[in-house]
Structure 1
Amino acid sequence: MTNTGRKSGPSPAAAARSQENRRQRIAEHVVRHGTVTVTWLAETMGVSVMTVHRDLDALARRGVLRRFRGGVSALPTSVFESNLDYRLGVHVAEKEAVARVAARLVEPGMSVMLDDSTSVLALAGLLRDKGPLTVLTNARRVLDVFAGCEEIRLIALGGEYSRTHDSFLGVPCVEAVEAMAVDLVLVSTSAMNAHMTFHQEQDVVLVKRAMLDAGARTALLMDHSKVARTALHRLCPVADFDHVVVDDGVDAQLVADLREHTDVRLAEVRGGR
């Protein structure tokens, strides 16, 4: 066989993952520093200025950051952290690990309520074969996951549609949730410390609180990036949750502190690499 000497490049899937990982790092740098130049980003990322321009254009379209001549600045935290496209692309491995552990809480025959978080969206795909189940949700993409599943009774919790979250919020959604009583509620939120959970948007807090009140048991799904942080609005104390599922990137002392208030289940990410 003739060896042409050419080396095959990365697969399209690998190239796409590399691109997305770089864009996540760029977003994190911009958020950390507030304002940075294109040249600085190119040097930091080890790529060309043109590549950085393409990445910044993509991130600006997602609503993660703001472009200006020669540089880029971060949007307010409440904007980029709420953006679904941004949330779908960050800490994917951690969310998937947390979802696998949380799925063990769900048994056939249960009624479960799922919020519009990307952590719970990762969980939804693992529940398709756990039927029979009754699933209630305000998240459009979670509805898509279960549409057509014969053993899933699916109930949409409607309200005012939010393009940012691709879900239903507002007073009509709260009222729909308050009319229900379920076996298990699974949610995530923006931030938590050893004692309290938080979210940056009041409309979202009101829906999540109603959901938690509707559950005989409740579970919180959090990747390590959301832990040891706060946000504008208090959601509820950690002790109000029956279960908290976090990944193994959370500081061991904080895990110990959380266990003083509730059942904590650890999802292995780093140990399995």
Structure 2
Amino acid sequence: MDSNIPDDGESLSKSERRRTRILQMLMSGATAQIRDLAEALGVSLMTVHRDLAALEKEGLVRRLRGAVSAEKSLLFESSYNYRGRKQVEEKRRLARAAVARLEPGNAVVCDDSTTTYYICDFIEEMTPLTVITNAVPILERLKTVPEIDLIAAGGRYHAGYNGYFGAVCERTLRSFHVDVAIMSTTTIQGLSLFTPDEIVVRAKQAMMEIARRKILLADATKFQFTALNYVAQITDFDLVLLTGDVPAANLEQLRKAGVAFELV
């Protein structure tokens, strides 16, 4: 397992969700007023100060006279690791179930998510495979694995997502046709998938276009978030693998929409 993604198996608490959101808000490199963060999150100044103190202790942010900014040298790498620490066991269950749906000889495209990363723990069971990805952790993990033909979807490196994005990445992806896309999502709202960043949207949509079958991986926390940018409908996926305590109302909505899903 990658040492940059510790296996703590914790559930994402309310405070951790806020802190992840704070990191997302600061990833542009801008300085934010702490009072504005409190208003955007709908919490008290005291609550935000507690969250910022925890993030500052991890070396992610710097507070100065009522404002906060990202630590430029540490934020982007650490924000990926921060997300990667959460729901590790759930992510591994999802990844194991996804790999079980592959067949030797398949060509597979994988997105940059910290969930999809964990296919690396199981993928040797299904080799030989061709794997295409824009995710640096997956490239690093699989580059020495026998019988995997590894293809990097290049482009402009984005440290916050630890992957390659942009026009070059999208053109590269669209030059292939693959058997399976394995993807995750920031959030599921109703029957729609959303993510905070437009560049991630475009890469994910390119992956969906080139895949004969599409598998979505999502733990229960994905139904708790909101995000700005629309990615796709959940009905666009051939199989949705879910884990954790997914609300019964959400499961019923998926059933009524005819979504093929499994709890793992």
> Shorter chain as normaliser: what TM range?
0.7 to 0.9
Which residue is equivalent to 1:167?
A: 163
Q: Distance in 2 between matches of 1:193 and 1:22?
A: 20
- SS of equivalent residue, structure 1 residue 208: helix
How big is the shift at 1:257? Answer: 1.5
* TM-score, length of structure 2 as denominator length: 0.76
Map residues 100-249 of structure 1 onto 2, 5 A cutoff: 100-249=96-245
User: Which residue of 59, 62, 67 maps to 2:60?
Assistant: 62
The answer as to whether partners of 2:133 and 2:152 remain within 8 angstroms in 1 is: yes
How big is the shift at 1:113? Answer: 0.4
Which residue is equivalent to 2:16?
A: 27
Amino acid at match of 1:157: A
Structure 1: which 5+ residue stretches go unaligned?
A: 1-15, 43-51, 268-273
Greater alpha carbon shift after TM alignment, 167-176 vs 227-236 = 227-236
Q: Which has more radius of gyration?
A: 1
How big is the shift at 1:107? Answer: 1.5
- SS of equivalent residue, structure 2 residue 170: helix
Which residue is equivalent to 2:262?
A: 265
Structure 1: which 4+ aligned runs deviate by more than 3 Å?
Answer: 20-38, 66-69, 71-75
Q: Distance in 1 between matches of 2:123 and 2:11?
A: 31
The answer as to whether partners of 1:220 and 1:244 remain within 8 angstroms in 2 is: yes
- SS of equivalent residue, structure 2 residue 182: strand
User: Which residue of 95, 98, 105 maps to 2:94?
Assistant: 98
Q: Distance in 1 between matches of 2:116 and 2:7?
A: 22
Question: How many residues end up aligned between the 2 structures?
Answer: 233
Q: Distance in 1 between matches of 2:209 and 2:56?
A: 42
RMSD of Structure 2 on Structure 1 (CA): 3.3
Structure 2: which 5+ residue stretches go unaligned?
A: 1-5, 22-40
The answer as to whether partners of 1:101 and 1:265 remain within 8 angstroms in 2 is: no
Amino acid at match of 1:211: M
Q: Distance in 1 between matches of 2:160 and 2:12?
A: 19
Amino acid at match of 2:139: L
